[in-house]
Chains A and B, each alone.
Chain A
Amino acid sequence: MRIHLRIWRQPGPDAKGHFENYTVERVSPNMSFLEMLDTLNEDLIRRGQDPVAFDSDCREGICGTCGFVVNGRPHGPDSQTTVCQLHMRRFRDGDTITLEPWRAKAFPVLRDLVVDRSAFDRIIQAGGYTSVNVGGAPDANAIPIPKEVAEQAFDSAQCIGCGACVAACKNASAMLFTSAKVRHLALLPQGQVERTRRVLNMVARMDAEGFGPCSNEGECEAVCPKGITLDNIATLNREWWKAALKP
């Protein structure tokens, strides 16, 4: 296949960006999307030109490193699929594909398609954990946890922190990300001790980092590669009101 690409090129955080056009020949349908970009970059490098900067690591959809907007949709057209797991068989010969970085105030562009997502780390830092030191933990089977509860906690804990939810939201809200961690820990007995403090601190940090408010439109859920649902946001809201109203 022959694929045309329109790619956002931006030399650095403070520089202006623009779209540039490229064509990649001999794209095989079995290639992953990132392998198609590797091929483009190989070509640019051989010609002594600056390759397109994009981030990736595991290339299995689990580390959350990859991510950019493909034809207006974070991670591209397939549901519950990171862009590293997207395959070229999804496209047709002659297609033109537009690639842009995540756009959000809290995620400054570093170069081309690479953004800085350290704001997510700082949200977790505000309380996304149980405060237990190594050493004193009781036997792992001391507190039984119903299978359904463990499964629900897992569903939330699956978030890979890629930032697609923020990129999809017109307010650049980080509610889906934050709520997934709040719900994961709120469901488990181990998370109870700090339940109140956690939700208040994480939400406050989220606001301070410059993420926007949630207006419940669900674009985040639609693009989440791990299928994190809006129920998480509902839980967060409940948890937050309960905590805020606590005397």
Chain B
Amino acid sequence: MRLDAKIPSGPLADKWDRHRFESKLVNPANRRRHTIIVVGTGLAGASAAASLGELGYNVLSFCIQDSPRRAHSIAAQGGINAAKNYQNDGDSIERLFYDTIKGGDYRAREANVYRLAQVSVNIIDQCVAQGVPFAREYGGQLDNRSFGGAQVSRTFYARGQTGQQLLLGAYQSLMRQVERKTVRIFPFREMLDLVVINGRARGIVCRNLVTGDIERYAADAVCLATGGYGTAYYLSTNAVGSNVTAAWRAHKRGAFFANPCFTQIHPTCIPVTGEDQSKLTLMSESLRNDGRVWVPKKPGDKRPPHEIPEDERDYYLERKYPSFGNLVPRDVASRNAKFVCDEGRGVGESGLAVYLDFRDAIERLGRDVIKARYGNLFDMYRKITDEDPYEVPMRIYPAIHYTMGGLWVDYNLMSTIPGLHVLGEANFSDHGANRLGASALMQGLADGYFIIPYTIAHYIASTPLEKVTTDHEAFAEAENNVRQRIDRLLSIKGSETPRSLHRRLGKLLWDYVGMSRNEAGLKKALEEIPKLREEFWQNVSVPGDANYVNKNLEYAGRVADYLEFAELLTIDALHRTESCGGHFREESQTPDGEALRDDERFSYVAAWEYNGVGQAPTLHEEPLVFEYVTPTQRSYK
């Protein structure tokens, strides 16, 4: 199968306008006759379901939580980018496009990223109209701040709770459509299979997480907006319910999985403290606007931070990257934290932490200004660590945070299964090998509010869709598939918990497929993962039954999928022998330890086709063509 990204022809700046004009439309009177399933109610899913409802389609919206408002997007802290140039500091659509392509280490499609930059400005308008209380200046205009990898201030924010406010805006629009009866919501539902009929996605099978019923839903098109797979690593900044299940089951039905090894490790998280920890907490990147990162110059220096004089501190980011300083992109900041800790200069009990120090900022701006900017983050830090960051520097360490990889989609956000569209973090889309801060929220809302309404209309209008009901044998087959898996989990009655197996998988991935990867380690992981999977299916314990709220059963199913997915993640990391963005292969680095790309061999999207559990997947390459930017060695010096 040849991958066709369906990128419109013509000059970069005109592609999206032209494409919209050339796309077919669905007559307003006919829209309510078309059912669209949207799985997920994060920024991508909620905005898609609300917009499609506004247009008059019959929308069914699903999520695993008790309410659509709780999707993981709610936890995003720092902000959302848009090329508004309100600060008059030289921003433009071109610059946002360029920063994002470069930030992604030239592993994203030009046309997609350009479109993202174009619609970014509409997103902010839409959110303000919904009543999102963004931060303002005294004159009443919107305020901005800077994020890593950019030299302009283009990030809009609502204190440290931007994701919450954006998601509530999208959720409220969604609930408005529920009142208008264009959208029906199905909370407490977990999609466990995709139904494909005549080669097209025509429905899903879900488990009702309250009653345990297995339910069938048919539609003309399906959108997956089920988020990223960061929790494959067990400890991550993601919500504990985040999972790869929906995407993985779609993959098993024929949707290619692209670039799974592009995972993002966020430099500023609260370090790991113990075995029982269930998640890691992010300290927003925005803190690097005012906080300075340092470690002692001397290895093994155990003095408390205030006793270490200025000339014995190494502000290593400012030293190595004078033009971006503490605001280098995430991959660069994370790797450097690892390097200094590997040299024995890490701080805190474990030695796996660096300081993020606000002393100078508090001296310069005063405690009140810092409190206004980051108050809730400082409070959160204190609650977790019992230390006061106004007095002592924060200790931070990198953690898994975001996944650039995901289901492969074309320019229309359609996967390799016709009719199956993938939005938000669940697709592989626009961030290449490394996502810049404040651009995931932008992409999620771009996909949902401004892209899918056009592209799905074109699909529906140009595709002969025969009538399908849930009585079709494909539904019965999918339901049977789901039931068998659940029965199998319940029948093992072993002695290991899903959590302890997940923890072990996470450690394996973190050690061998984490911040820094090499051939021997990746091969080792490929030996260990199948063993762990085998152990899971022999010895997992899932007490109780399937016909009521059984959180451990839900969790066991997600861990089982991760045990399959982890192998693909590792295979992709092994095959890509270059370093790029978040994927650092020790075999491929510049003399000064920066990631060294190999554009000759790897300037492509790696899209993997499923061939069965434990079977080698088939690689399909989508070449990346750069017509407007010239890929160069990324430099933030």
**A121–B69 contact, CB under 8 A?**
yes
> How distant is A186 from chain B, measured CB to nearest CB, in Å?
10
Q: With the chains together, A85 CA to B84 CA distance in Å?
A: 36
Chain B, 489-518, CB within 8 A of any chain A CB: 493, 495-500
Q: Choose the segment among A58-66, A166-174, A211-219, A239-247 that binds chain B (4+ C-beta atoms closer than 8 Å).
A: A58-66
Q: Please give, as numbers and ranges, the residues of chain B lying within 8 Å of A16 by CB-CB distance.
A: none
Instruction: State the interface size on chain A (CB cutoff 8 A).
Output: 78
Do A190 and B130 touch (CB < 8 A)? yes
A185 to B169, CA, bound (A): 11
For residue A64, which residues in chain B have a CB less than 8 angstroms away from its CB? Answer: 69-70, 74
Does B322 touch A at the CB level, under 8 Å? Answer: no
Q: Which residue of B lies closest to A42 (CB)?
A: B497
Question: Between A and B, how many residue pairs show CB distances below 8 Å?
Answer: 220
Q: A139 near B499 (CB under 8 angstroms)?
A: no
How distant is A159 from chain B, measured CB to nearest CB, in Å? Answer: 9
A30 pairs with B274, CB closer than 8 A? yes
Residue A153 lies at the interface, judged by CB distance under 8 Å to chain B: yes
A134 pairs with B133, CB closer than 8 A: no
Q: Is B436 an interface residue (CB 8 A)?
A: no
Q: Is A89 an interface residue (CB 8 A)?
A: yes
- Which chain B residues (267-281) contact chain A, with CB distance < 8 Å? 273-274, 276-279, 281
The yes or no answer to B21 lying at the interface (CB within 8 A) is no
A208 in the interface (beta carbon within 8 A) = no
Residue A130 at the chain B interface, CB threshold 8 Å: yes
Residue A55 lies at the interface, judged by CB distance under 8 Å to chain B: yes
Which one of A110, A134, A160 lies within 8 Å of B210 (CB-CB)? A110
* Complex Cα–Cα for A141 and B240 (A): 37
Whether A35 lies near B493 (C-beta < 8 A) is no
* Interface check B75, CB cutoff 8 A: yes
A78 vs B66: C-alpha distance in the bound complex, in angstroms? 25
Residues of A within 8 A of B449 (CB): 134
* Interface residues on chain B, number (Cβ under 8 Å): 85
Residues of B within 8 A of A130 (CB): 129-131, 172
Measured between beta carbons, the chain B residues less than 8 angstroms from A104 are none
CB neighbours (8 Å) of A140 from chain B are: 84, 124-125, 127-128, 134, 142
A147 to B210, CA, bound (A): 44
Q: Does B201 belong to the interface (CB within 8 Å)?
A: no
Interface bits A41-54 vs B (CB < 8 Å: 1, else 0) = 11011101111011
Q: Is the CB of A124 within 8 A of B172?
A: yes
Residues of A within 8 A of B142 (CB): 140-141
Measured CB to CB, the closest approach of chain B to A144, in angstroms, equals 3
The contact of A121 among B75, B175, B450, by CB within 8 Å, is: B175
- A126 CB to closest chain B CB, in angstroms? 7
**Contacting pair B274 A121 (CB below 8 A):** no
B67 touches A62 (CB 8 A): no
B86, CB-defined interface residue at 8 Å: yes
Which of A34, A58, A81, A125 is B176 in contact with, Cβ under 8 Å? A125
Assembled-state Cα–Cα distance A38/B234 (Å): 14
Contact across chains for B72 and A58 when beta carbons are under 8 A apart: yes
Contact A134 B543 (CB under 8 A): no
**Contact between B551 and A53 (Cβ–Cβ < 8 Å)?**
yes
Contact A145 B493 (CB under 8 A): no
By beta carbon, the residue of chain B nearest A55 is: B66
The answer to whether A126 touches B179, judged by C-beta atoms less than 8 angstroms apart, is yes
Say yes or no: is A8 at the interface (Cβ < 8 Å to chain B).
Answer: no
Given A42-B499, A56-B240, CB of A117 within 8 Å of CB of B140: no
Once the chains are docked, how many angstroms separate the CA of A51 from the CA of B499?
Answer: 13
A85 to B278, CA, bound (A): 12
**B122 pairs with A137, CB closer than 8 A:** yes
Question: In the complex the two chains form, what is the Cα distance from A128 to B130 in whole Å?
Answer: 10
Q: Which of A83-127 contact B (CB under 8 A)?
A: 85, 87, 89, 110-112, 114, 116-118, 120-121, 124-126
Please name 24 pairs of A and B residues whose Cβ atoms are closer than 8 Å in the assembled complex, sorted by A: A12-B548, A28-B276, A30-B273, A34-B278, A45-B552, A48-B543, A51-B551, A55-B551, A58-B74, A58-B239, A59-B281, A60-B75, A60-B279, A60-B380, A63-B74, A87-B384, A116-B210, A121-B187, A133-B54, A140-B127, A140-B134, A146-B136, A157-B165, A160-B164
Interface residues of A (CB under 8 A from B): 11-12, 28, 30-32, 34-35, 38-39, 41-42, 44-46, 48-51, 53-65, 78, 81, 85, 87, 89, 110-112, 114, 116-118, 120-121, 124-126, 128-134, 137-141, 144-147, 150-151, 153-154, 157-158, 160-161, 184-185, 188, 190-191
In the complex, besides A64-B74, A118-B66, A121-B68, 20 extra interface pairs with C-beta distance below 8 angstroms are A30-B274, A35-B276, A35-B278, A50-B544, A58-B240, A60-B282, A111-B548, A114-B549, A117-B67, A118-B67, A120-B67, A124-B69, A129-B130, A140-B142, A147-B136, A147-B137, A150-B135, A158-B161, A161-B67, A190-B130
